Amino acid sequence: MKLEQIVARAIKSLKEAHKEITPEEFQRAFCKEMKKEGLTHEECDKLNKFISRLDEGYQKLVKGYAPKSMDELVQFLISQVNRLNPTEASEYLAAQSILLLKVLKAVKQLRHKEAAKLASTTLDKIENTKNTELLLTLAKSWDSLTANYKPNEFAAFEKYTLLKGYFLEEVANELKLAFEKNIQNFDDLALVVLDGLKPSFTKQMQKELELFAKKVLNEPTMISQKRVQSEIKSLVAKRIYLDNKEIKQKISEIDGMVTRCYAKISGITDANVSGAQKVGSIKKLIEESREGDFEAVKVKLSALVAALDNDISGALTALKEEHAQMVAMQQKIKSLESELESAKEEAGIDFLTKLANRKVIDEELEHFEGLFLRFKDNYSVVFFDIDYFKKINDTYGHMAGDVVLTSFAQILKKKSRDMDIVGRFGGEEFIAILPKTDIEGARTYAESIRVAVEKTKFIYKETRIEVTVSAGCAERKSTKSLKELIKTSDERLYKAKQNGRNRVFWA
């Protein structure tokens, strides 16, 4: 192997060990690599040559100290020379022994299995034996432990959070913060799940859902359990079934009322036909009266008038009854309509576009604002406004306007991520909340929506309607509050419309 390759390997080993590349460290690594290849070098043998020139006593001491460089050997020899005073040497050795015992006892308490075990063994040998060779063997064991030590005890936690600390206390604090954030995420997730389970139409599940909500709020982390996830799916399916059943029942009630109204109107019409026939008979009798038999006509006319009077009286009574029933049915219909409107609001859905309504948007903004204040999780807001929407309504009619709104909603949903929240803010104005997105990401998203709208063919009754959209973007970390974020985004939307429409403003 070439010398350059050995040098490269030596440098690589120092980098992998995160050691500073000093002349001493490089020489040590270089000599180690030379030894692996069965080679030798003058610089590598220099230390051993000096040690071999010492007397046997110093050689034994040096062997126990195990210097790794000429500097370490010189320092060791100086320390030995400075200990020529027997009293000072004895005191120093005693203090050194006490310090060694204290250090070993401290290491024994550390939560490192191999180090604690080796410290315990070393303490035992120092206190109970006087074998120099045994102590030198233990010294080599300590060298081996430190040489092979890799601080990867927390590698299993890297998938939960990036650990930057090196010492145990630092890592413990990082893990504590990570788990606190994880638990907070479970709290937020639990609230989202429970909001989704709130009854929209049916009230039959109210108690069952209250019990489930209480259980989840007491222990939000249980949402991660498969058993609880299956229970949530079951509750959702049951709620959808009961909602549909309730809606069908209310629609059936309204249909029944309409049918009864139709029947009553038909009855009134029939009564009017019968009355008209009787009036026709009277007219005919009057014509016949001109031919002479007035008494007979008078009798018949009296009978017809009495019958007609009776019919009118009955019709008036029936009309009064029908009027009362009609008023009651009208009140019932209004009540049902009010219930349906309340249910729509509770469901949090804009029923025309099937996007989130204003109520849900406000709740989601508060949710993401909370995450930003606690964890500095940045998010952005984009306001969209369909250009010249009033003109579309005036030119093509409100039904055409509804088609444009629902089509634009579909584009928004298609272009958004699962984590994004999109909704109808009011009229032709829409909003998108983009978690973990900076202003550049918001601009890219808004531009993709603008281009998609421009390219889409909006068709109503075989007529193509030209539609464009304007947008304004803002990110939370660049504003002082949620209120300012909304205001900034709305102002930029206004700028986009003032500067020609069909464009995105983000600054």
Q: How far apart are CA 354 and CA 231, in angstroms?
A: 26
Note whether 492 and 506 are within 8 A (CB): yes
Give DSSP secondary structure letters for 21-70: --HHHHHHHHHHHHHHTT---HHHHHHHHHHHTS-HHHHHHHHHH---SH
Q: Which of 428, 429, 462, 484 is catalytic?
A: 428
Give DSSP secondary structure letters for 389-455: HHHHHHHH-HHHHHHHHHHHHHHHHHHS-TT-EEEEEETTEEEEEEET--HHHHHHHHHHHHHHHHH
Positive or negative: CA dihedral 370, 362, 471, 460 = positive
CA 434 to chain CA centroid, nearest Å: 10
Known catalytic residue: 428? yes
Other CB atoms closer than 10 Å to residue 32's CB: what's the count? 14
Closest CA to 408 of 386, 431, 382, 383: 386
Q: How far apart are CA 371 and CA 384, in angstroms?
A: 24
Q: How far apart are CA 129 and CA 143, in angstroms?
A: 21
| Residue type at 57 in one-letter notation | G
Give DSSP secondary structure letters for 219-233: -GGGGGSHHHHHHHH
Q: Can you read off the two tokens belonging to residue 102?
A: 């204290």
The residues carrying an active-site annotation are: 428
